[in-house]
Amino acid sequence: MAVQKLKDNIFYVGAIHWDRPLFDELVELPKGTSYNAYLIKGTQKTALLDTVDPEKSYELMRNLEALGIEQLDYIVAHHAEQDHSGSIPDVLERYPQAKVVTNAKCKAFLMDLLHIEESRFIVVKDGDTLDLGDKHLRFIFTPWVHWPETMISYLEEDKMLFTCDFFGSHLATSRIFGPKDEMLIYEGAKHYYAEIMMPFRNHIKKHIEKIEQLDFDMICPSHGCVYKNPSFIIDAYKDWVSDRVDNEVLIPYVSMHGSTKKMVEHLTDALIEKGIHVKPFNIINVPLGEVAMALVNDATVVFATPYVLAGVHPSIASLAYLANALRPKAKFATVIASYGWGGKGIDHIKGLLSNLKVEFLKPVLVKGDPKPDDYRALDDLAETIYQKHKSLGII
């Protein structure tokens, strides 16, 4: 994307990837993404904050040329993943006098990933500052957001936070401060949080407390839009990382011959009648990102599956594995399943959810097509979920 001015002598110089289909060959990108890099011109020194994915290196170099940057003193590396660091070698080649400013852990990663020579680094500690003349960058370590070496920068005089992946969103837009529809920004950020940040929510809680002690009026992440209203994204994150859950039940399901779908439809109606919001997702047709977003705040997850070769359907097993890795704050989980000749699908799901701190409710297991007694068992499950939600005070 073209250079955009954020404040006096502070510029966006990153790139937009409008049509990238997947991130890390896993995360679907229905709205694209961006690689945000920022240039700060001080009266004495000039610093580039992060770079871009190597595929878009030419855009970063074009933007630096457009700004007439002949002397670059520092490249600040907040995080070693290549979507941020991958163009550092190109920048170092163009500006041989520049130094890479980062912490010791990130330095080690960058040497391994990009083969940058040790002599090109300046290593900083938590709380250190970088003097650019009339501007000063203070480095704040934020480990496990979402790698162990991550840090952010605070530009003291201009009251700006450069947060790398923290508060990012997968959203390609030419409006650097975001589209007019705030819901697009919110959903992009929630999608990003759900699939990348959710496993680290307890770390994020502490880091939010740390940054709220600073005086800032702009948050500049490394993906998505820049926030001129920081409370918008901070308040959203506070909700997502809190222990509060919503009066909602997520039902990811697969149905091979219709039996499981009948069970899902009956349970969905039974829950709705009790005033519980329900999100049934046929995961064969729904992107995993939507399911991950639903996991952020839902109180209960019901995995609905047919048996395949004496176990749960592979797509449900894959989703349970993903949920276990994402570690949502759901309070309850269970399984409803249909089978033909037997198996141990319930134990299979339980084993895949070992990281989740959930109460596992009594499952409903149906042989063949559901019968009247099976529907009554689903009604009992709906009542159990209602009582559990009521005990949390969310009904």
> Cα separation of 99 and 123, whole Å?
10
Judge if 129 and 256 occupy the same domain.
no
* Residue 87 is assigned to a structural domain of this protein: yes
Specify the residue for token string 């020579």: 117
Specify the residue for token string 């037997």: 342
**pLDDT for position 340:** 80
Domain boundary pick from 188, 219, 241 = 241
* Residue 394 is assigned to a structural domain of this protein: no
What residues does 17 pair with on adjacent strands? 33
What residues does 359 pair with on adjacent strands? 332
Phi, psi of 174 (to 5 degrees): -80, -10
> Cα separation of 149 and 96, whole Å?
25
Q: Which amino acid is at 335?
A: V
* Residue 20 is assigned to a structural domain of this protein: yes
Tens digits of per-residue pLDDT, 338-370?
Answer: 988 777 778 889 999 999 999 999 999 999 999
* Residue 173 is assigned to a structural domain of this protein: yes
Domain boundary pick from 210, 241, 272 = 241
Judge if 186 and 327 occupy the same domain.
no
Judge if 112 and 223 occupy the same domain.
yes
CA distances from 231 to 114, 228, 235 (A): 36, 9, 6
| Residues of the chain predicted below pLDDT 50 | none
CATH of the domain at 294: 3.40.50.360
Judge if 90 and 214 occupy the same domain.
yes
Scanning 49-152, the segments in alpha helix (DSSP H) are 57-66, 82-85, 88-94, 104-114
What residues does 47 pair with on adjacent strands? 40, 74
Judge if 103 and 28 occupy the same domain.
yes
Judge if 321 and 197 occupy the same domain.
no
Judge if 229 and 260 occupy the same domain.
no
Judge if 382 and 260 occupy the same domain.
yes
* Residue 188 is assigned to a structural domain of this protein: yes
Strand duo 151-155 + 246-253: pairing: unpaired
DSSP 3-state of 73: coil
Residue 128 is classified by DSSP as -
* Residue 395 is assigned to a structural domain of this protein: no
Q: Residue 9: left if φ>0, alpha if ψ -120 to 50, beta else—which one?
A: left
- Is the pTM higher than 0.85? The answer reads yes
Judge if 271 and 383 occupy the same domain.
yes
Judge if 81 and 186 occupy the same domain.
yes
Candidates 123, 53, 64; CA nearest to 94 is 64
CATH of the domain at 208: 3.60.15.10
H/E stretch holding 124 reads none
Judge if 39 and 80 occupy the same domain.
yes
Domain boundary pick from 241, 272, 296 = 241
* Residue 284 is assigned to a structural domain of this protein: yes
The range of the structural domain enclosing residue 344 comes to 249-389
Judge if 259 and 152 occupy the same domain.
no
Structural domain tally of the chain?
2
